[in-house]
Amino acid sequence: MDYQKFLDTINQEMNYRDVTGKVASYIPELAKVDPRKFGMHLHCGEQQNYSFGDSEENFSIQSISKVFALAMAMEIMGEDLWDRVHVEPSGDPFNSLTQLEYENGIPRNPFINAGALVISDILVDQLDDPKQELLDLVRKLTDDDSIDFDKEVYKSERSTGYRNIAMVNYMKALGNIKCDVEPIVDFYFHLCSLAMSCKNLSHAFMIFANRGKILATDEEILTPLQTKRINALMQTCGFYDEAGEFSFEVGLPGKSGVGGGIVAIHPSKYSVAVWSPILNKKGNSELGMKALERLTSLTGLSVF
C-alpha cells in the first residue's frame, strides 16, 4: 500500500480556502493559531512513516488527550469504571449540563467534558502525581521525552473554564465526584493543554491499533479487552454529536479535539493524525474530516 502517494493526493486536493468554519475562540489562546496550518502523519510500522505539511509542529490536542486519561483510569478501575461513567453516545454538545440532571450525575460517556472530569477525579484520587504519570505514559508511547503541557493554553483554559468547574460541583452534589474540585479541574485543564504533533499522535495511538502493545518494544500497556473497549468508544463517541457522521464518512475509530486535531486508527494496520485548526459547527476539524474521508476512500480500507 503506497500510503505516501495517497497522502500526497490528499495534500493536493485539500485547501483551507475551501472550508467555511472558524478556529476555536472560546479558549482565547486557541484563537491565536494560524488557520492555514495543515498537516497529516500516518504510522503503520516501526520504521514506516508517511506525512505532509505541518505534521511535526506541536499543537494543543485538547480532547484527544481524554483517550490517554481513559486508558489510565481503566487500568486502575477495571470494569468498575462503568459505574461512574457510561458508554453511550451523547447526542448533545460536549459541554452540555442538561444530561447530568436527567441522569443523576452519571456522564453519558468518558469523552464528553463531564465524563472526562469524572475520569480526572479518579486519577487525582488514585495516583500520587497524575499530571506527571500522564506525561510519563505519553512520552513512553511516543518515545519522545520533550512532550509537555502548553502553559499558555493551560492558563487560557483556567481563566475561561467556569462551565467545567460548574460540572464538577454539580456532579459532586449528586455524589459522583470524590475529590475536592480544585485538584480535579487543575488536572483536567492540564490534560487538555497537552501539546503534541501529528507525528507524536500517530505514534502514540498505534497502541490502540496494536492490541494494547507498543509496536517498537512489544510492551503491553493495555489488555486486548481494554483496547477493544477504547476503540469501541472512539467509534461511537469520539466526535461528540458528530460521531455518527464520522463513522458514516470515514469508517474508523477516532478522536477529535477543538485544537483542530483528529487521530484515527485502523486495527492491525495503521494510526493516522491530521491537524487543521478550522472547525465545523460541531467543533471538529473541517479539513481534517475531509482528509480522513479521502484516505479511507483512496485506500479502500475501513473497519466496515
Predicted confidence (pLDDT) per residue in 61-99, tens digit? 999 999 999 999 999 999 999 999 999 997 766 666 777
Confidence of residue 101 (pLDDT cuts 50, 70, 90): confident
Mean pLDDT across 37-49: 93
> What is residue 92's predicted lDDT score, i.e. its pLDDT?
67
Amino acid type, 109? N
C-alpha–C-alpha distance, residues 96 and 87, integer Å: 16
% pLDDT > 70, the chain: 98
The alpha carbon dihedral of 119, 120, 124, 127 has a sign of positive
Confidence of residue 240 (pLDDT cuts 50, 70, 90): confident
Q: Count how many residues are written for the chain.
A: 304
Mean pLDDT across 25-41: 95
Confidence of residue 147 (pLDDT cuts 50, 70, 90): very high
Q: CB-based contacts of 45: which residues, under 8 Å, 6+ apart?
A: 215
> What is residue 241's predicted lDDT score, i.e. its pLDDT?
85
284 is written with which cell numbers? 471538529
63 is written with which cell numbers? 480532547
% pLDDT > 90, the chain: 90
C-alpha–C-alpha distance, residues 9 and 283, integer Å: 26
Q: Among candidates 157, 166, 185, 162, which has minimal Cα distance to 31?
A: 157
C-alpha–C-alpha distance, residues 191 and 61, integer Å: 9
219 is written with which cell numbers? 510492551
18 is written with which cell numbers? 475551501
Confidence of residue 46 (pLDDT cuts 50, 70, 90): confident
Mean pLDDT across 218-239: 97
> What is residue 94's predicted lDDT score, i.e. its pLDDT?
62
Predicted confidence (pLDDT) per residue in 117-134, tens digit? 999 999 999 999 999 999
Mean pLDDT across 176-193: 98
Predicted confidence (pLDDT) per residue in 256-299, tens digit? 999 999 999 999 999 999 999 999 999 999 999 999 999 999 99
What are the chain's domains?
3-299 (3.40.710.10)
Contact, 41 vs 50, CB < 8 A? Answer: yes
Confidence of residue 153 (pLDDT cuts 50, 70, 90): very high
C-alpha–C-alpha distance, residues 64 and 291, integer Å: 18
Q: CA separation (Å) from 27 to 36, 76, 143, 209?
A: 19, 31, 29, 32
Mean pLDDT across 1-7: 96
Mean pLDDT across 225-247: 95
> What is residue 90's predicted lDDT score, i.e. its pLDDT?
79
